[in-house]
Amino acid sequence: MNSENNQAFIERDKKSYLQTFSRYPITLERGMGSHVWDVEGNEYIDALGGIAVNSVGHAHPAVARAISQQAEKLIHISNFYLSKPQLLLSEKLKTLSGLDRVFLTNSGAESVEGALKIARKYAHSKGRGGTIISFEGSFHGRTLATIATGKKQMQKGFDPIPAGFIQVPFNDLKSLIAVLDDQIAGILIEPIQGEGGINVADESFLKSLRDLCTREDIVLIFDEIQCGIGRTGTFFAKEHYSIQPDIMTLAKALGGGVPIGAILSSEKVSAAMELGDHGTTFGGNPLASAAALATLEVLEVEDLLTQAKEKGRWVTLQLEAWEETSIKEIRGKGLMIGIEFDFETKPLVQKMLEKGVLANATAGNVLRLLPPLNISHEDLDKILNVLKESIQEIK
């Protein structure tokens, strides 16, 4: 038996890796642009983009070159010392976001954890409690504190769950106001929920949140880990609403595939943090920072924000023109697209995989599309053709 096939690798994986992922039966070996190949040489169009990570595609030459060049100079030091890539990246993120302070991390969950610490430290400095409000359908990570903000099913078996968290319905101002008191430190929200099924926050709701937080001196935290870095057609989803949060968390697409996250915060809340209040060993090291700088440059040079906006609109119009009866709703902005069906979408994703397209099922009956922003129209057309064929075969 050939030991270099998909099945052989999957069987080996089951013997060594902690089995927390329900993996698809392929082992990917290389990628280029919007395409990936498995160990058997089968080619796929990547409509998932590593779950909104590979926004500039796989093996982008500018990002690969930046990583290679930095690796030959300095990979890691520690945050006892400054590196030029980290400085340049923090300055760049400050300029792009309009926020005042940057702290670099390794992941999205770590970014959210840090944001919660800043919010609580600020609240305590003002005599408030440390409770955080989050929303039903949210996803902010898999650490103990972040699962405390999310779905109950993700908390099962991990008791005791950290205290100090309240969850209310998404886009429901009345329910939020009902739980407000002087114990509330912050409100944590995804402007567009990703794992929850690509649910877009109402503009009036977010504006009301901003007004409420300003009036009550509550820290407003935007989690833009999935919807940020150009995914929705603007650099940050907050730009669709013309709202500035007090803290914003980033990760996923920031490093073009290299693990890196960020916490961006206003001077007002940042001032509560003191030396030693937070730290990281790997966060913002020279290699990750260089990858992020190159990724941000690609987004600007190739005008990928405009591409995301135009391609997302095109995909949505094509889907609407089908008048497919099993499609209940099409949601999202830019190339962050959720298609809600009247059936479970896992079998649909499996069928698309068999036809050479990688996609994702989330929230039970939602198909999630998060392709590279520089994907070609030809590839988008193929994705839609495969989707249409797969729907018919599933039905």
What region does 345 belong to: left with phi over 0, alpha with psi -120 to 50, or beta? Answer: alpha
3-state secondary structure of 47: coil
Q: Which of 46, 223, 246, 379 is catalytic?
A: 223
CA-nearest of 104, 176, 186 to 145 is 186
Dist. CA 33–CA 375, nearest whole Å: 7
205 a catalytic residue:
no
SS3 of the chain: helix, strand, coil, percent, to 5: 40, 20, 40
Q: What is the largest CA-CA distance in the chain?
A: 68
**Dihedral Cα 189, 109, 180, 174, nearest 10 deg:** 30
Is-contact 150 139, C-beta < 8 A? yes
DSSP state letters, 266-298:
-HHHHTT--TTS---SSTT-HHHHHHHHHHHHH
229/233 Cα distance (integer angstroms) = 9
Candidate list 121, 238, 252, 351, residue with the active-site label:
252
- Note if 252 is an active site residue: yes
Which is the catalytic residue, given 139, 165, 170, 222? Answer: 139
Give yes or no for a contact between 330 and 339, defined as CB atoms under 8 angstroms apart: yes
Active site residue 343: no
Which positions are catalytic?
139, 223, 252
